[in-house]
Amino acid sequence: MVLCRSCPLAKVADLVGDSVSLIVLRDLLEKPRRFTDLQLALAGVSSRTLTLKLKKLEKCGIVSRHPDFRLGNKIVYRLTKKGAAFERVAAAMRAYGKKYL
């Protein structure tokens, strides 16, 4: 199926319209996370799949990587300002899920 690339809804669906991306965003809305923390929330998803999703979100300016000196320079993933704006979308999806699903 070919999505209309000029449609804003289709663009958002292309970026975050899969369960892995949505779970990553859900968890990062709560707080910054290490790769292993995200992987635990996505039981059954390969590390390669998670890596590819994080790279896509990073490339689009939704997620950023930062060394956390408290953790011995381990990388943590955070939402950018653009990513944090997804909170309203996530809240609407939660409300819809509670009401209709």
Q: Which two tokens stand for residue 79?
A: 């939402």
How many structural domains comprise the chain?
A: 1
Domain of 82? 18-100
- pLDDT at position 1, please? 47
| Residues 6+ away with beta carbon under 8 Å from 94 | none
**Quick check: is 5 in a domain?**
no
Paired strand residues for 67 = 75
Containing H/E element for 68? strand 63-68
**Quick check: is 3 in a domain?**
no
Max CA pair span of the chain: 46
One digit per residue, pLDDT tens: the chain, 101 residues?
455 667 888 888 888 889 999 999 999 999 999 999 999 999 999 999 999 999 999 999 999 999 887 767 789 999 999 999 999 999 999 999 999 99
Closest by CA position to 55, among listed 85, 93, 10, 20 = 20
CA distance 75 to 45: 20
